[in-house]
Structures are given as structure tokens and as C-alpha cells.
Structure 1
Amino acid sequence: MLKAKRILLIIGGGIAAYKALDLIRRLRERGASVTPVMTSAAAEFVTPLSVSALAGERVYTDLFDLTNEAEMGHIQLSRVADLLVVVPGTADLMAKMAQGLANDLASTLLLATDTPVLVAPAMNVRMWEHPATQRNLTVLRGDGVRFVGPNDGTMACGEFGPGRMAEPLEIVAAIEAALLVGPLSGRRVLVTSGPTHEPIDPVRYIANRSSGAQGTEIARALATLGAEVVFVTGPASVPPPEGVEVVRVETARQMRDAVLAALPVDAGVFAAAVADWRMADAVTSKIKKVAGKLPLLQFAENPDILAEVSQMERGRPALVVGFAAETDDVEANATAKRLRKGCDWIVANDVSPATGIMGGAENAVTLISDAGAEVWPRMSKREVAKRLAQRMAEALRAR
């Protein structure tokens, strides 16, 4: 898929820069050519000689290299590639990109390019969660910049949380998805997946039997058709697909925040089995068992993410697809849900225990829209996802 593709690889100044060496090797194995650009800070972590040896090309570092300016020029360098990839995308580089600064070669190339850009962020968890970084992330997403990661993990500084750079193979998959020409190329799609866990106390929670398998397959199918996919997942039992931007959450309120942060998108698929209720006041200490006494659990209603997005007056996706997991009167209940929520389509399925669908490998769905109810035969969840993704591509093309 990457044969003869040209990647301009911008290596930022962070400890994760060492992964750029493996990334170069992986890209060249797949037939891509890699032109490396290093910031001055990047050279503190990996040497230009190592990068050049693996890439098989010279490393560009200096904006004011007059010989290079005569031969190619930084403007041309930014436009001859099929994709610009920033690894690692440090907080500083993201801030420069968001503000349009151009005080070194890397930031100048990013400002001068008309080529798609993919960023693999990597930074301390506090830096990633800082409002300034999140504002810059929103700006860059609005500018059409793609992202892969960051993942949760242990940092070089010893802290744990989001901010760890995606692994090289994850970045390769994201590069392949970004370069894929398909019916959803240029489209940004949000997919929610998995269950949510609503804490009762530090060791207990409210949950459901969703595995996240169907949402994962939908995200994979959309990416295969060329879409840039933001995958917001609860604590699912299946791993997320490669080549998509993964946002991990636990509770319904966290999922709502992640969904709103991902907007704007062209389409949203709300496949997550979001818990309807949470504890009104989750306690911070384990509830102890007392003989003859049962704890009184007070519930509160969780936010209705599907309805909120469907009924937005501004920024509503062009296509909103909801899911209805029912055990009785499936079509009638799902049809009523579509009207109540205000979404364009509802994918309804019967999750009665006898069907084996909840947590299983197959699904049998009914697609409900303004055109009526369309019953699909029972098939694998992967085939359901492919069929739905193709239908979404056709609908978005017509809008």
C-alpha cells in the first residue's frame, strides 16, 4: 500500500524520537521513501547520522541552508511528499502549528505545505491535558490535521496516563489510512464503542455485556474506505483497530466530553452501549457488607449523547447513526427511538440472550431510516460493518 509513496518525516524533540528510527525502517520495508527533517531538539535524542543511515537520504535541519535553497527550497520540500508525518508531535510543535509560527525548518515546512499532515503526539500527561494543548488540538483538527494517539502508558518521567506516543506499527497503519484513496477520503467520522463503567465505589461499578466488537469493526471498515476515524471507546474486551485515533474513556460523562471534543465531524456512529444511569453519589470508600442490611443505591440519569449530537443547532454531523439494542418489539422500539433522539439512522438488533449477539461474533440488524426498515440477514459483525460503512459513503456522497 505504501509502495512508491513519499513521506516527509518531521522528528520532534522528545524522548519518543527514538521510535522514529523503527518507523523509518517499517516504512521503507513497505516500499515508501522517507525524507527526514529534524528539529534541533530532536538531535538531542537521536543522531542525524542514524536517521540518515536508516532513511537512505540526507537529513534536513537548517532553514537557512543556502545550497539546499538553491537546489530545492523549503517550499518545494514541503510539497513533493504525499504525506507529512510529525513524530513525535511535541507540545511545542503542536503549538507552533496551531498558531502558524515558522521560526525553524520544521515549523516552516508545516506552514508552507498543501500536503496532508499526520501527527503522533507525545508528551507528559499534564502537558497533554493542559487546556492550551487541548485548544491547539481542537484548532489543528479543525484545520484538517490527522492524529494517531497518544496512548495511555508510563512516561519517561515516571508518570502514567495519556501522552505516550503511538507505537511505530500503529503509526504505519495511520499513514496507510491517510494515504488511502477511497469513497470516504477527506471525511472525518466519529465512532463510539464498547460499554461504559459507572463506579459505585472504588471496587464496584455498573456495566453491561457489550464487548465493543461491532463498534471496532465499524471503525475499521470506515478507515478502510479512507475516512479519518476518531474512535471513542469505553473499557471494551476487544482491542481497538489500527490506523484510527483512539480516545479511551470509562464513564458516560467522559464519553460525552470526548465526543464533543472530537467535533466537528462529517458523520457520527454511536455504537457504544452507554449506561443509562450512574450512581448519584459514588462513594470513595468500599461499601462494607453488613449482615441483615442492604445498601441503598441512589441513581442519576446519564447524559444522552446521541440525542445531544443529533439535536445540535450548530455543528451537527451531516449523518448521525445510532444503535438500538432491544430485547422486545425491536423494530417498533428502534423506530420510536430514532424519532425521539433525532438521528438519521438507527441500527437495531435483538440482544436477547438466546440470540448470542451481545458479545458474540455475529449480528442481525435492521437499518431504520426515513425510507423505512431494511432487514439485513444475520452475518459476521465485520460484514455488518462493511455494509454499513459503504451505505454511509453513499449517503455522504449524496449530501
Structure 2
Amino acid sequence: MLAGKRILLIIGGGIAAYKSLELIRLLRRDGAAVTPVLTRAAQEFVTPLSVSALAGEKVYSDLFDLTDEAEMGHIQLSRVADLVVVAPATADMMARMSGGHANDLASTLLMATDTPVMIAPAMNVRMWDHPATQRNLTVLHMDGIRVIGPETGDMACGEHGPGRMTEPADLFRAITAALADGPLKGRRVLVTSGPTHEPIDPVRYIANRSSGRQGTAIAEALRDLGAEVTFVTGPADAARPQGVRVVEVETAMQMREAALAALPADAAVFTAAVADWRVAQPSDQKIKKSPDGLPMLDFVENPDILAEISQMKQGRPALVVGFAAETQEVEANAIRKRTRKGCDWVVANDVSPGTGIMGGTENAVVVVTEAGAETWERMGKGEVARRLAQRVAEALG
């Protein structure tokens, strides 16, 4: 699939640099040409010889190489690729990219290119969570940089959390999707998924039975059509989609913040089963049984994320799709929901206990649009996702 494509691979200086060797192998095996660039720090983790041997090309690292720069080599390198990939993208690299620095070959290439850029962040969890990194991430998204990962897991430093570089096979799939000439190439889509957990005290919470399977399938189907997908998910059971940007949240308030941060987008698909209410004042200690009777919990409404984004005056996605989980009058409730929320489409399903749909692998939906209601037969959630993604592509033209 990548035959004839050229990837400019910038390898940053982190322990995850070793993964770039496997990524080069996968890209070459699929027919891509890989031009490698190593930062000075990257050479502390992988050698130019090993990178060059796998890529079958010269390794570039020096901005002031007299031979290369006699013909403005950094300009040439930045323009001939079909995609620029930074893997791993360290905290320092992200900071320099967001600040527009050009003080070495890698940062100069990134400043001089008019080619799409994809980065795979990798760093310590505290560095990833630092406000400066998150600000830089926001700027990079605004600049149109495609961000893949990071993943959550154990780190070389012994800590656990988000910050692991996306695995080479998953990054390879993301690169393939980015270079695919699908109908959604160049489009940005927001997908929310899973349940939310609203805390009662440190050990209890309010939740629902959403597995997140349908949201994951939709994100993957949109990715396969070439879209750049931001996937905002609550604590779902389903595996996270690969080749998309994943944002993990827990509560409805956090999901709202993440969804707004993912804008602007061409389309937004709200599959998440967001809790309607939360406890007004969650206890900071476990609530104990008391001879005085049951505890009194005061509830407040959660933000209506679908309605808020559907009714935005500025920056509203061109297409907003809501989901409705119903147990009665599915079509009638979906029609009313579409009008009430102000979204373009509502995809509704019957989640009554006997259907096995909520948490299951199949779905049967009614798609409500301005033109009316259309009933789809029961099918796998993957097929529902593919049909819906195709409809999104058609709607966006």
C-alpha cells in the first residue's frame, strides 16, 4: 500500500528511539522509502549505522553539513517526502515545534516543510501531564499536526501512566491511514465513547453499562477512510482504537473539556453514554453505614456536551451526530432528541435488557436526519460503524 511513498522519519532522543528501528522495517517491507534524520540526543540510543542499514539510505543529522547544504539540503529534505513522522517526539521536541524553533536539522526541517506532519510522543508520565506539555500539544493540534498516542503503561523509569510511544505496528497503521487516498483524507473528526464515572466517594461512583465497542468501531472506520480522529473515551471495557489520538477521561466534566479542546473539527460523533447527573458534593472519605439511616445524596445535572457543541455560534463542526440509547419509543424519542439538541443526525438504538445491545457486539439502529428516519437491520457494531463512516464522508463531500 505504501509503494512509491517517501517518509521523512525524524528520530528524537528518548529511550523509545529503539522502536523506530522496527517502524523502519515495517515501512520498508510495505514498499515505502524512508529517509532517516537523527537528533544528536537520538544517537545516544540508536546508532546511525543501524538506522542506515535498515533504511537503506544515508542518515542525516547535521544542519551544517557542507556537502548537503551546498544545495540547501534541509529545504530539499523537507519538501520531497509524502509525510514527515517524528518518532519518538520528546517533550523538548514538542516544545520546540510549538515555539517555532529552528536550531538543529530536525527542527529546521519541521519549520521548512509544507508536508503533513505526524508525531508519536514519548516521555515520562509527569512530563506528559505537565501543563507546559499540554499547552504545547494544544498548539500542535491547532497547527494541524497529527498526534498518535501516547499509550498508557509501564515506563523505563519504573513509573506507570500515559507517555509510552505507540507501538511500531500501530504507528505503521496510522501512517498507512494518513497516506491513504480515502474520502476523509484531511478531515478532522471528534468521537466520544464509553461511559462516564461520577464519584460518590473515593470508592463508589455512578456509571452505566456502555462498553465503548461502538465508539471504538466508529473511530476505526473513520480512520480507515483517511480521517484524523480524536477519540475521547470514558473508562470503557473496549480496546482503544489504534492510529488515532486517544484522550482518556473519567467524568462528564472532563469529557466536556476534552471535547471542546478537540475542536475545530469537520465532524463530531457523540457515541458516549454520558451520565445525566452527578453528586453535587462527592465525599472525600468513604461513606460509612450509619444507624441514623441512609445517606442523603444531592444531585446536579451534568453539562449537555452534545447540545452545547451542536448549538455553538462559532466553530461548530459541519456535521454533528448524536447517539440515543432508548428502552421505549426509540424512533419518536430520537426525533425529539435531534430537535432538542440541535444536532444534524441522531443514531438511536433499543438497549432494553432483552436486546443484549448495550455491552454486546451487535447493534440495531434508527438513523434520524432532517430527511426522516431510516431503520438499519441488526448487524455487528463494526458494520454499523463502516456504514455510518461512509455516510459521514458523503455528508462532508
TM-score (norm. length: structure 2): 0.96
**Map of 1:254-265 to 2, 5 A cutoff?**
254-265=254-265
Residue identity in the other structure for 2:316: R
Residue pairs, 1:205-220, within 5 angstroms:
205-220=205-220
Q: Secondary structure at the match of 2:28?
A: helix
Q: What are the equivalent positions in structure 2 for 1:37-186 lying under 5 Å apart?
A: 37-70=37-70, 73-186=73-186
Query: Which secondary structure state, in structure 2, belongs to the residue aligned with residue 24 of structure 1?
Result: helix
CA distance in 2, matches of 1:69, 1:257: 46
Give 2:303's aligned residue: 303
Question: Secondary structure in 2 aligned to 1:94?
Answer: helix
CA distance in 2, matches of 1:97, 1:183: 29
Q: Distance in 1 between matches of 2:153 and 2:281?
A: 29
Look up the SS of the partner of 1:236 in the other structure.
coil
Counterpart of 1:176 in 2: which secondary structure?
helix
CA distance in 1 between counterparts of 2:58 and 2:393 reads 41
Q: Partner letter of residue 139 of structure 1?
A: V
For 1:266, the aligned partner's letter is: D
State the SS of the aligned residue for 1:17. helix
Please say which of residues 123-132 and 181-190 is displaced more in the overlay: 123-132
Alignment deviations for residues 269-301 of structure 1 (CA, whole Å, 9 cap, x no partner): 000011111122222322223467322222221
Could you say what secondary structure the match of 1:185 adopts?
coil
Q: Give aligned-pair identity as a percent.
A: 75
Displacement of 1:161 after TM fit? 2.4
Q: Which secondary structure state, in structure 1, belongs to the residue aligned with residue 79 of structure 2?
A: coil
Give the alignment of 1:1-399 within 5 angstroms: 1-70=1-70, 73-290=73-290, 293-397=293-397
Deviation at 1:71, TM superposition (A): 5.8
| Aligned-residue offset at 1:119 | 0.3
Q: Give SS of 2:196's match.
A: coil
Q: Deviations over 1:176-200 (max 9, x none)?
A: 1111111100000010111111122
Q: CA deviation at 1:243?
A: 1.2
| Distance of 1:264 and 1:135 partners within structure 2 | 16
Tell me how far apart the structure 2 counterparts of residues 299 and 15 of structure 1 sit (CA, whole Å).
47
Letter in 2 for 1:328: Q
Cα distance between partner residues in 1 of 2:39 and 2:356: 54
The answer to whether the 8 A contact 1:278-1:302 is kept is yes
Instruction: Determine helix, strand or coil for the equivalent of 1:196.
Output: coil
Give the length in aligned residue pairs: 397
Contact 1:233 1:249 in 2 (8 A): yes
* Worse overlay, 269-278 or 30-39: 30-39
In structure 1, what is the Cα distance between the partners aligned to 2:223 and 2:317?
17
Q: 2:221 and 2:53 mapped to 1: Cα distance?
A: 36
1:31 CA drift (Å): 2.4
Three-state SS of the structure 2 residue aligned to 1:31 is coil
Distance 2:91 2:239 in 1: 27
CA drift at 1:72: 6.8
Q: Deviations over 1:120-158 (max 9, x none)?
A: 011223322233322222222122110100122233333
Distance of 1:124 and 1:354 partners within structure 2: 46
Q: CA RMSD in A?
A: 1.6
Q: Which runs of 5+ in 1 are unaligned?
A: none
1:176–1:243 CA contact under 8 A, matched in 2: no
Larger CA deviation: 158-167 vs 52-61: 158-167
Cα-to-partner distance string for 1:359-380 (whole Å, 9 max, x where unaligned): 1121111111111112222221
CA deviation vs aligned residue, 1:327-369 (integer Å, no higher than 9, x gap)? 1111111111111111111111111112221111211111111
| Cα deviation, residue 323, structure 1 | 0.4
**Within 1, Cα distance between the matches of 2:330 and 2:143?**
41
Residue identity matched to 2:96:
K
Amino acid at match of 1:138: T
Residue 95 of structure 1 and its aligned partner are, at CA, apart by 1.9
- Segments of structure 2 that go 5 or more residues without pairing to the other structure are none
CA distance in 1 between counterparts of 2:131 and 2:242 reads: 27
Q: Does the Cα contact within 8 Å between 1:35 and 1:55 map onto a contact in 2?
A: yes
